[in-house]
Structures are given as C-alpha cells and as structure tokens.
Chains A and B, each alone.
Chain A
Amino acid sequence: MGEGGIVRSFRYWHEIVLLVLIGVVFAFAQMFEPRFLQLDVQRELSTHIWEIAILCLPMTLIIITAGIDLSVGGMMALCAVTLGMLFQRGLSPWVAATMGIGVATLCGVLNGLVVTRIRVHPLIVTLATMAAFRGAAEGLSLARPVSSFPEAFGWLGQGVWWGLPVPAWCFMGLLLLTASAVGLSRWGSYCYAVGMNPEACRFAAVPVNRVLLGLYAFSGFASGLAAVLFVARRNTAKADIGMGIELLVITAVVTGGVSIFGGRGNLLGMVLGVLLIHETREFVSWRWSRDELNFVVMGLLLILSVLLHRWLTPANRNTS
C-alpha cells in the first residue's frame, strides 16, 4: 500500500469532518454570539437534546443491522400514558415510571418478534407499530394530559447533578453500557455482520434473531427512558409526546455517518452527529429566531453529511 492507500484506509475521516463542522459552528458563535457559548447557556440548551441522544443509541445499532425503528415516538407515548394513568390512580411516580419503561420495552420486544419470526422488513413493521402504539396511547388516555407530578420526580428531568443535567448522566451511563457491549462482547461484531450479510450470518452460526430481538427491545427500553425524562422535564404526561421524533433521531444518526444500508457507522460518529445537529439547531434559533429556517438547515446538514460520507468513506470501510 502506498501513501494514498494509508490515507484511504483511514476509517475516521467522517468523524474528523464532523468535528471540523462542529468547530465551525462554535467559531461562528464565538464571533457573532459569544453569549451562546457560555457554560450556563450551553447547559440549559443541552436539556433539549438528551432524550434524542438516548434514542440514538439503539437506533445506531439497529441501522447498522440494516434495520430501522420508526416506532420510538409511539413507544414513548405508551410509556408516558402508562406513567400518567398509574400515577393518577395513586401509584408513586417512580413505580409508575418503571412500569412505563416496562411497557415500552415490551413494545420493543413485539417489534423484534415480528421482525425476526414473521420476517417482515423493519421499516414496514415499525411503520405499522408507530401508528398502533400512538393510537393505543391516545385511546387509553383519551388525549387527557396528566400533570402535577411531585417536585422530586421533576428533578429527574430538570435537576442538575455534578454540574450536568440529570438526563445527561442517564445518556452517558447508557452510552458507556452500549459502548462496552459493542466493544467488549461479540455483540458489536454481530451487529455489523447482520447488517452486511444476514444470510451468511445464519450459516456462520451468528444468532441473528437474538441480536435483532435484543436491539429492538433495547430500543423500546430507551424510548421508555426518554419518555420518563421528558415527562419529568415538562411535568406533563400525554399521548402526543415524541411526535415526529423518529425523524430527528434518524437524521442525527445518519449525519453521524451511519449508513442506512447497514454495516457501516459507529457510536463515536453518532455522538458527533448528535452534537452537530444540536449545536446547529440551537445556534440557528438563537441567532435568527426563525423556526422555519431550522428545517431548511437540518435538511441541508443531512444532505451534506450523506455527500461527505460518500466522498470520504473508502469502499472497504469496516469490511477488513
């Protein structure tokens, strides 16, 4: 391999470009809106992203297996409604929240079962369950919101612990667990393998079904956790929570360099993608106060990232 070969075989160009782009946003902010970069501002603005970041963890792995989970918002809604209704019937909000996360995890298991047993494409399965979960949540709650949770529960969403919002610690804990599972066990390799060639995996004794079932269940769990944090943060449990959140999550993951066709991408890229999306979105609304502009910028970012991905990724990335 010559010099060009080394450059081409370096696998992390996409991540470096994302870092540069994040740097550009910060530099712009430094020049025009220095207050945007202050610690207290950044800390408070960060509360807008943690739930999405949590949802990105399972979504990254699922997309690496060439799957997708569109039903995360629906599972959030079912969790929130379960939480709200049990709390209203006098249960402690902590117990209710645990039950809510349980319900969301079960929803994830259901997705996983349909994907693995009935072998329907995850896009179709989760498109169907997205509507079904949301509908069930609306029906159960009759669209009535539940609020006035105790302050101690609100701390989960609004509190600050050791200098960071509580949801940030939830995300980082979950990131650490996910990263260990991917890096230390065979699960990580399995995810990539399933994404690249599921048929070959079945012959190679890779437990494809168990991997997929586990990932969709994880997605349910993460949706439940995100819903609990959201309910605690906004002090309201209702059925329209997380409406359209799947698109933001997928945008962040794909911006992070995870290929929608499976087999490519990593958690580092995803974290950078989330960071870039978050800082860009917040900076645009900070500077221009024009909500419509945000949609345009998000769309451009997504296209830019896909183009970069194509230019920068050697064809053999993650296959050697």
Chain B
Amino acid sequence: MKKRSGLGLILVGIALGVGCGGQPGGEGPEGAAPGTAGEDRKVTFYLVPKKKGLPYFSSCAEGARAAAAALGNVELIYDGPTDGSPEKQAAMIETFALKGADVIAVSPNDPDVVGPAMRKAREKGVHVITWDADGVADSREFFVNQATAQAIAYGMVDTMVRDLGGAEVSADVAIVTAYLTAANQNIWIEHMKERLASSASQLNLVAVKPSDEDQKLAFSVTQDLMKAYPAIKGFFGISSVSFPGAAEAVRQAGKTGEILVTGLATPNSMRSYVEDGTVKSVVLWNTAELGYLTVLVGEALATGTLSAGATEFDAGKLGKKKVEGDQVILGDIMVFTKETIGDFDF
C-alpha cells in the first residue's frame, strides 16, 4: 500500500509537469504572424448562427452562400453551436479570431456572454458584425437588421387584427415568447404592447409566457392559457419554436378556426397549420436575403468600401439599403398566407 502511494506521488509530479508545460505551451513553431492580410487574398468570413441546424438559420446560410459565390473573393464558413449554448458560441468566436478570420458575423445567443469574446476579436483586428440579433455596445461595427423591431411587432399585431376581422373586433390575445431574457423578443413585445394599446386594435393582451425555446413547453403553456382564459381568441408565437408549439396546442384542442395563431417562423415549419387554417398568416422577413446582405456588408467592411458614417449601402441585386447609424436595414417584413406559402421552400 505504502509503495503504491509513493509511486502515485511521483507520477502526480510528472502530471504537474505535463499540466504546466504541455497544456498551454504545446510545441509552438515559429509560424506566420497572425492576421496579416495579403493583397489578393480571399476574405475569410465566419457566419455564426445562434444555433446550427435550425431551418431558419439554414435558410439564411443559403443566401449567404449565394452572396459568397456572387462576390467570388469570400471564403464563407458557416458554423455555430449545435446545442445553442452561448458559452460555446463565445469559445467558437475566440477560435475563429485566433485562426485569422477577416470577418465574423454573429447572431449572439446571449449578448452579455458573447460580448467579451466579440470585443477581444475586434482587438485582434477582426471585423465583427452582428446579424439577426444585435450584440452589446462596442462588441460589433455594424448590425445587419432584418427589419426594425417596430416593423416586426406592428406587422404581427396588424396581421392578427386583420385575420380576426378588423380594427373594431375586440378579443383576448396572449403572447408565447422565447426566453424572458431574449433581447429581440423583449423589444418586439414592447412595440406590440404599444400597437395593441393604440387605436389600430381593440385586442386585449392577457398574458406573456416564456417557452424557453422548447416546442413541448410552448405547447403546454398554450394549453394552460386556453384553460385559464376561455375567451381567448388569438396567440402570438413570437419565435420559430414557440409558434409551431402554440399552433399544435390549438389544433389538438380542436379549436382550429376559433382561435387564431400568428407569429414568426419559417414557412416550412408552419405549412401544415396554414393549410388546415389554424394559422392564417406567418410573419417573417426574407431569410435568404438577410444572409445575402450580411455577407455583402462584411465583405465591404473587410475591403474598406463600407465604414462608419455611411447612410446608404449598395447591396447589389437587393438594391440600395438604408443605413441608420450603425445598422444596415434589410427592409420590411414578409407575410406568408395560404395563397403565397407555396412559392417558398425554407
């Protein structure tokens, strides 16, 4: 016994040596200096979604690939955390910056957690922009905004009002959101409340519930709300996960046609609900164009054709886009209905 523990101690000593020397050091060769940009070198562009594998982000990536192909000088890498973990997203940004990225475009999962990594990347000379969702101050140069928060929020309320029969119809409605901390959703909710209180609607908001980006939870939250407010006439599912969850709950309760669901999601994920009438309208922006514009903006920053203070950005086939402060605005929302949804596949 005694002999064993003695040997163990020696080995732990070796372990320490390995721990000290090996781990942070490695056998570092001289290597090339980081971040040195050659003349006709390609722009290395990392496009980082909140969560890899969601159809919404995949459709954005399609547009981004089209832009990279059209530009020709962009090497596009699309990668993000498959589990949607903000910590992992931050770690990935650190790795990309060390690898010598020219542009990193992030849709931050949690701006506070990812912010320091984005700032560190900027200190290394990387052009960091945000797309789809914004980050914290000084963590990025530009935000490629799909549509203003107001346009999205008003769009959802106005769609609901129209689908329920017009501005004079009064009814109870509820919101099923993502997380209570989700920055995008919280701004939309503010603007939705504003619009609901205005003369454009007689709707009465009875509850705002989180679904934690979990479709099952969105489903059960919606069931609970239907029990708690029997007079409820409409649900807003304001994330790509809470929308189908809420619609499924209404469909399974047999309330199709009595209770309307509207919100934000990709057309494919809502197609069956639109076809059976549970959902009359799906609100979204053109995701492929969002990816396309993001790559264009990043490339323009890297090559110096876009810089702070610009008021307009020439987005090629997308036309001229407005720049408001440090935000490049893609444009208006899109509403997919039973008539138009067949034209889209994403």
Contacts and interface: CB of A to CB of B under 8 A. Distances in A.
Interface in A272-320: 272, 275, 278, 282, 285-286, 289-292, 295, 318, 320
Interface string A64-103: 0000000000000000000000000000000000000000
Contacts of A244: 83, 85
Interface in A203-239: 230, 233-236, 238
A4 B184 CA distance: 66
A236 B112 contact: yes
Interface stretch (A106-114, A116-124, A125-133, A182-190): A182-190
Interface residues on A, range: 35 or more
Contact of A172 (B19, B22, B80, B116): B19
Main secondary structure of the interface of B (DSSP, over half): helix
B79 A290 contact: yes
A271 B328 CA distance: 48
A139 interface: no
B197 interface: no
B87 A275 contact: no
A241 B110 CA distance: 12
Contacts, number: 160
A142 B180 contact: yes
Contacts of A12: 11
A168 B99 contact: no
Contacts of A48: 91, 94
B99 A286 contact: yes
A291 B181 contact: no
B5 A175 contact: no
Nearest to B34: A35
B119 to A, nearest CB: 10
B26 A37 contact: yes
A137 B114 CA distance: 21
Nearest to A185: B5
B81 A291 contact: yes
Interface residues of B, number: 55
A286 B11 contact: no
Contacts of B110: 145, 236, 238
A69 to B, nearest CB: 20
A249 B99 CA distance: 27
B23 interface: yes
Given A234-B90, A289-B46, A179 B12 contact: yes
Contact of B28 (A22, A38, A46, A147): A38
Interface of B: 1, 4-6, 8-9, 11-16, 18-20, 22-29, 31-32, 34, 46, 52-53, 77, 79-83, 85, 87-88, 90-92, 94-96, 98-100, 110, 112-113, 115-116, 179-181
Leading 5 A-B pairs by shortest Cβ distance: A183-B9, A179-B12, A268-B15, A37-B26, A289-B79
